[in-house]
A and B are shown apart, each in its own frame.
Chain A
């Protein structure tokens, strides 16, 4: 249940912050949800990772699809991905996810430092 809460919170915060903050909006989202919603072990990282990876991949796809991925294909060539747009989307998701995930780990540690739910 907490996983779902964290997932939804990260997603909502990520989408909201991205409207007016630079790319690191997703780090802030990960940080806050990590600080508020307590998760354990690997989930601390992977739940916000999945939320933001999904957000970035879907968002990128929605932007590029109406233009037939013309630029995405060229950037995928530039990055030696052989013009493979799917790989470029996955890398995009991976980077966004990692950024949110590590911020969430830090948020989690902050919460622990504050010593609130210490038992």
Chain B
């Protein structure tokens, strides 16, 4: 009896211990998680404001002034100390995010969340994300100066990680029950690849191939023209290229492979894009150049951006950093300011590979069998056996699709060729821009930037404004890379590069402003082949029309433009719909909604009812037009919005207007009626749920925590207008992730804001304190400190001392 009681009490104690110490999905290990000496209660702190910290490897003390929004203003004696401190301070505020994003890039999420992420991880591996990161690292390692900074940055991060006891780990580690690992140079390369894939990973070659197979080349060319008539390109159309000596490869004879592809890799969000612009002295109210930028990305917490001032006696730079990468990415110094938008060029192509046999050790190219190489990807899965994925590589790149992954045959596969695999030295571009003093130094800095191609806007204290479309671009023959290509034919290979000097650019144009909004880079006169790969057609025209509309522009004009909700797309279609649509069959209720649309001023403001009617109507209409493509088992994408609207207005009897699931043959007008009625049903459900159908409430913008928008750590129902395709490009969970305006006065005056906060800790009041300021369309005045002495507006100052 005694023994039994003893054993039972032992088992009870043991099982309570195990139950509280083990992660039982979806719960964290509750004892650990809730204990006050190890768990989350220790994370309920807004900021650690210790006055003195000591860090291994610093050569001199570094002063860090935190302002009231917890933006660190870092004053170091030299670059190595500066980047070491940047690493330390960034990790101190964003450690979990930094590591999580690089895990996501490397296809290592299964290690954290288990087999649910296996398919995602395999996609990352098969896209060659690690392969590309290793190439980039090779390149950066050839550059001793950059390598030194990268190592200092890495060591700074690791100093912070080493200083952490498990009880101080960020709350997400506690929630998912794992521990941070040391930072490596490769992780910085992986972060840059993450951005490259996000911005230069969108193409639709395989979908286009399917489209041609189904509908023929003539229909394709009609629906997907290389240029639209209303094209208002990044580089002004009047630019003269005629004095360049240009050779473009000849288009080879022969056909493209006509394969049918049902399943394609997941794509980055096509809305990933941005706006930027600058006015020169002639168009500026003060005579100082003014520049603005707002990159549009998925809206996450912690934010993708972390704002810093980084100063040494030689340079002083302020702006948005990417946690995990060196230096400022979008920002300004006393001499210049710069920003980026995505160039959206097609730099990822697909080749059909013919293998000799099922061993896939040789492939046919240039009339001979050539050896492949194989890379075994080891994917560690939490709580399961490790998964090994063999990815075959040809000279093009990784054979992403093959028999084991979304492929359709033992002896064939589709290989990816991508500038993301070239491995540039993007860090050098950023570091040089941080210290650049004039146009020439900006131009020289860009040369190292390979991918993702960006529209680098520039303005200087000297009064120069410029915009370079920078990246490495294959010099393509006409039609190259639009469709799946023949991997056996060497003429289908990329034939060389557009020379750096011929990357499209503009400096101090006569019109007095430069701008980009992911639209077509050039007009038809540009001598190299560029086709429409999903270029923006609306934001760019609103921006350019605004800058053509008057002579002088103020900071307020810039703010207004960032927050401009004018819906040009609607303005170009809605009046036509209202004109041609018969209203005799509409109910009272439907007529009431129609009156909202008629009374609408085309602004997607938060309190607008007309905007909600339009958005519901348009989304149903767009689906009805392209229902054929959606109903098909093959992967296809609908034509771009501009062409859809062109069709609806000018080709109302096009065969695509017919709806496949009705017996009648519909025209555009029939679709207007049908989609309106469908839209009304949706509006009614909104009205029922919300009590109104104002656009801001219907859109319900949210900023979601990186872990699938965990509701507790996210912000919902933000009152902000706009939508995709509008200059204020805020859609439900996507939009301006950083807004910056800089006037190049002496010293520069700058404004900035982003939907997040400087601290990555959900327990900090600085976790999301900028969200409401952002949603209201307001900005922080960025305090550009000119020296470390007598700073104003400082919350607290921290000194980082060399550790003895």
Question: 6 A-B pairs, CB-CB below 8 angstroms?
Answer: A69-B44, A70-B764, A71-B41, A74-B712, A102-B12, A105-B13
Known contacts A78-B712, A99-B20; is-contact A110 B6 (Cβ 8 Å): yes
Whether, in the assembled complex, B32 has its beta carbon less than 8 Å from a beta carbon of chain A, the answer is: yes
Question: Which A1-42 residues have a C-beta within 8 angstroms of B?
Answer: 18-19, 22-27, 31
A56, A59, A75: most-surrounded residue (chain B CB, <10 A):
A75
Does A108 lie within 8 Å of B9, measured CB to CB?
yes
Q: What is the chain A residue whose CB lies nearest that of B761? A: A71
Does A74 lie within 8 Å of B12, measured CB to CB?
no
Task: Tell me the number of A-to-B contacts counted with CB atoms below 8 Å.
Answer: 121
Whether, in the assembled complex, A92 has its beta carbon less than 8 Å from a beta carbon of chain B, the answer is: yes
State the 7 A-B residue pairs at the shortest beta-carbon distance, nearest first. A71-B763, A23-B35, A59-B36, A78-B712, A77-B712, A71-B44, A106-B13
Chain A residues with CB under 8 A of B762: 70-71, 74
Does B44 lie within 8 Å of A67, measured CB to CB?
yes
Chain A residues with CB under 8 A of B3: 113
Does B16 lie within 8 Å of A96, measured CB to CB?
no
Whether, in the assembled complex, A60 has its beta carbon less than 8 Å from a beta carbon of chain B, the answer is: yes
Question: Which B725-767 residues have a C-beta within 8 angstroms of A?
Answer: 761-765, 767
Whether, in the assembled complex, A47 has its beta carbon less than 8 Å from a beta carbon of chain B, the answer is: no
Chain B residues with CB under 8 A of A84: none
Whether, in the assembled complex, A86 has its beta carbon less than 8 Å from a beta carbon of chain B, the answer is: no
How many of chain B's residues have a CB under 8 angstroms from any CB in A? 39
Does A70 lie within 8 Å of B30, measured CB to CB?
no
Chain B residues with CB under 8 A of A99: 16-17, 20, 31
CA distance A63 to B38 in the complex (A): 12
CA distance A89 to B46 in the complex (A): 20
Does B34 lie within 8 Å of A91, measured CB to CB?
yes
Does B13 lie within 8 Å of A103, measured CB to CB?
yes
Q: Which residues of A contact B (CB under 8 A)?
A: 18-19, 22-27, 31, 56, 59-60, 63-64, 67-72, 74-75, 77-78, 88, 91-92, 95-96, 98-99, 102-103, 105-106, 108-110, 112-113
CA distance A88 to B765 in the complex (A): 20
A72 to chain B, nearest CB (A): 6
Whether, in the assembled complex, B10 has its beta carbon less than 8 Å from a beta carbon of chain A, the answer is: yes
Question: Which B1-37 residues have a C-beta within 8 angstroms of A?
Answer: 2-3, 5-6, 9-10, 12-13, 16-17, 20-21, 30-32, 34-37
Does B45 lie within 8 Å of A67, measured CB to CB?
yes
Known contacts A67-B45, A109-B5; is-contact A23 B713 (Cβ 8 Å): no
CA distance A99 to B46 in the complex (A): 30
Does A95 lie within 8 Å of B765, measured CB to CB?
no
Whether, in the assembled complex, B42 has its beta carbon less than 8 Å from a beta carbon of chain A, the answer is: yes
Does A105 lie within 8 Å of B9, measured CB to CB?
yes
Whether, in the assembled complex, B415 has its beta carbon less than 8 Å from a beta carbon of chain A, the answer is: no
Chain B residues with CB under 8 A of A27: 13, 16-17
CA distance A63 to B710 in the complex (A): 24
Chain B residues with CB under 8 A of A95: 20, 30-31, 34
CA distance A60 to B41 in the complex (A): 6
Does A23 lie within 8 Å of B38, measured CB to CB?
yes
Contact of B36 among A56, A69, A70 (CB under 8 A): A56
